[in-house]
Amino acid sequence: MAFRCQRDSYAREYTTTVVSCRPAELQTEGSNGRKVLSGFHVVLEDTLLFPEGGGQPDDRGTINDISVLRVTRRGEQADHFTQTPLDPGSQVLVRVDWERRFDHMQQHSGQHLITAVADHLFKLKTTSWELGRFRSAIELDTPSMTTEQVAAIEQSVNEKIRDRLPVNVRELSLDDPEVEQVRGRGLPDDHAGPVRVVSIKGVDSNMCCGTHVSNLSDLQVIKILGTEKGKKNKTNLIFLAGNRVLKWMERSHGTEKALTALLKCGAEDHVEAVKKLQNSTKILQKNNLNLLRDLAVHIAHSLRNSPDWGGVVMLHRKEGDSEFMNIIANEIGSEETLLFLTVGDEKGAGLFLLAGPPASVETLGPRVAEVLEGKGAGKKGRFQGKATKMSRRTEVQALLQDYITTQSTKE
């Protein structure tokens, strides 16, 4: 059975009848993790909302202004998940989220066109595809593609868009001999009814259940962004079609304007300006590292010669890294004193290092990490790691001091 959305992909609203409504649950994923929603599966006599299938995500829309959060195919029926029940037998008005629908039509028809052209020009077979939220990918059965091949495919598909080639949808019976001549990757196990064939005049005929434009001119333009390495010796061809190209250009132009303002040069000089900044940054980082090393050596000598030297010695600096702390520990080189070094935010996250007698460090290191609510590891008189609560350094000092006092009492 072909749904109304498949018979007329351009229809935006449709009146139909509720067949059934039963309790259901929907698993969703968001920024806060997985969530299970309670609601209802509503089945209609016919539907304007496309259920997920053929690599195309499902539609969104409303039934009597009630939001439909998911549409899935179940045999010849479509389950519409809502959080409000609808009475079986009642007439309802179904509206589709047209922006989402037309975007999916553009991307799906664009995939058919690219797939056909890649096959025609270079015998590159499509093994799968994904209609993503921001971009789409066609998996081609080849380990690599040249830039010349990508450019040729892009040029050819856009020529066909300018030729305004019609796109037709037909339904064939399973025993129709023409079915054998149509491109496709097989039918789902629960398929019932006629076979739906989408044809681009003079270019391609393909078994497909998705929604499509009626003329390639509705694609507007296709932009192939490039290729990426795919699974099992395959190549993913990344593309945008229609309105996604316009949105991509708008974002790119916004980025270009921002870079022009920041770099104080025209767009044609952006790359060279960034390279100069990178080189300058590398030199500054190298100079900064050398200064930190010199500072670490100086601090180590100051600590070693301090009248307070001995027992527990602590030092915290906002600037620094693990190498900075290790240089200090190396320069001091004492196994008689517990040296506790920290760098980072005084009250937030940072790095720590505990150095001293190996047996003492082995005992105290994990306890220090626990107090600072961090993690670490160590060996041979060193224990270092990351901390999330630098504000508890005074508790670490008390812990170390108590340990030293206890050890002195034992001796």
pLDDT (tens digit per residue) in 102-150: 999 999 999 999 999 999 999 999 999 999 999 999 999 999 999 999 9
Paired residues of 317 in beta bridges = 343
CA angle at residue 240 from 10 to 94, to 5 degrees? 25
The pLDDT of residue 252: 96
Q: State the pLDDT at residue 187.
A: 57
pLDDT of residue 407: 81
Burial 357-371 (b: 16+ CB within 10 A, else e): beebbeebbeebbeb
Contacts of 214 (CB under 8 A, 6+ apart): 9, 10, 166, 167, 168
pLDDT of residue 336: 77
Query: CA-CA distances (angstroms) from residue 106 to 4, 77, 129?
Result: 18, 25, 14
Among candidate residues 286, 354, 299, 357, the one with its CA nearest the CA of residue 322: 354
> Alpha-carbon distance 297 to 278, whole Å?
29
Q: Which residue has the tokens 């059934």?
A: 20
Q: Residue 354 in contact with residue 397, Cβ under 8 Å? A: no
DSSP state of 179: G
Rounded Cα–Cα distance for residues 355 and 331 (Å): 12
Low-confidence ranges of the chain (pLDDT < 50): none
- In the chain, the domains with their CATH numbers are 4-96 (2.40.30.130), 102-251 (3.30.980.10), 297-409 (3.10.310.40)
CA 365 to chain centre: 38
Whole-model pTM?
0.75
